Chains A and B, each alone.
Chain A
């Protein structure tokens, strides 16, 4: 347990004008760890996740990935180069997939590796095939996103992120926009990644999934981490009133 943190968020704070969305959050994630972030809507979960790759820059605080500071203060030009490098190592999957509609599944997956890793067409194709096989979507390689179901789109989005061989994967409510019967296929894909010891931070409203897959659960409310711990503790024996209230609402109907 003395491992150096893989991801280290130090005193993260973020405001929109007078609205404090994140209030001095610190979080360390070890390599291979799988962290779930839960909490009510508007509590700052997405903002925290999006601060990790600087999509939503912090007002204060630092984000480190291994021994590199992601949000390193640099002059604009240098920063642009630095952050593009960092982002290649941080995969992200969004609630609304954000696949590129003008490209096929293959095109979606090979775009970044071809441009950024200078892969040849053949290498990029091999990579796309490998990643698609991994998420069970190889037979759709020449489809356009509009020809896929929500669950299939999300699996392609995961494959697209994985194709950059990131060190960390960030998931922001990736099953929230899906029809209930399509959630499982995406969850299974994420479970598979978990078994392969991918380091993951998963914002989710699916308590059961968090319980099954994650090593650690953070409960956020109003811009602070109210409580955190292993899923057994957070879900079975939460300490804070706010956590209890939240879980009472969200565990209804979920088998315990």
Chain B
């Protein structure tokens, strides 16, 4: 049993890296998605809406399979880790699009009216008045997205990324202890999620005070 710990630690590191890269990519996709959804251009609004309904309306696992197994057929060659990050990141980005958009539209209309009345342009109003307020509103709901994303990284075991879930499965074969293996993986996920949750609460509190 003891000899599996180093492998689980290495796997936990892979899960953490996956989570970080996916969060970054998700935030990028989410910001672009929200910008598109709120754009004045009808075409961009449509693109944003299509992105959200496509990626929220189909299983993330299918999206991963299409990218990893189907990708080579259309000339996209990715290793499993890359496919995992891109697949999960673009997927969670669709959820983050809605989170970010929701926070922006939740800022009181009077705020942009006051800014526009002073003579600020649309983009100045967005940058100086709306986004600073929306940023505070979106920390917690983005935390929920990130929580889902960390758990979602387990999916990439299915495309053989050697992360926690995959590692647990692999050592069942040699240890014959599925209960312990999955329990161990579960505990490590919990620690990662717990620490992330603390970080998000801290950010949220800080944003509120200042």
Q: Which residues of A contact B (CB under 8 A)?
A: 53, 55, 80, 84-85, 87-88, 90-92, 94, 96, 98-102, 111-112, 115-116, 157, 160-161, 164
Contacts and interface: CB of A to CB of B under 8 A. Distances in A.
Contacts of B118: 87-88, 111-112, 116, 160-161, 164
A29 B121 CA distance: 27
A100 B119 contact: no
B174 interface: no
B110 A98 contact: yes
Contacts of B120: 84, 111-112, 115-116
Interface residues of B, number: 19
A80 B133 contact: no
A84 B132 CA distance: 21
B114 A98 contact: yes
Interface in B114-170: 114-122, 124, 128-129, 132-133, 136
B59 to A, nearest CB: 39
Given A94-B110, A98-B110, A98-B113, A112 B119 contact: yes
Nearest to A107: B128
The B interface is mostly helix, strand or loop, or mixed, namely helix
Nearest to B110: A98
Contacts of B116: 55, 87
A48 to B, nearest CB: 15
Max chain B Cβ within 10 angstroms of own Cβ: one of A99, A112, A160:
A112
A116 B119 contact: yes
B122 A80 contact: yes
Contact of A111 (B108, B110, B128, B136): B128
B121 A80 contact: yes
**Nearest 6 Cβ contacts at the A-B interface:** A88-B119, A98-B114, A112-B118, A98-B110, A87-B119, A92-B117
B133 A84 contact: no
Max chain B Cβ within 10 angstroms of own Cβ: one of A88, A98, A99:
A98
Max chain A Cβ within 10 angstroms of own Cβ: one of B119, B128, B136:
B119
B17 interface: no
Interface in B83-111: 108, 110-111
B117 A100 contact: no
Nearest to A86: B119
Nearest to B128: A111
Contacts of B119: 84-85, 87-88, 112, 116, 164
Nearest to A114: B128
A83 to B, nearest CB: 8
A96 B110 contact: yes
A115 B128 contact: yes
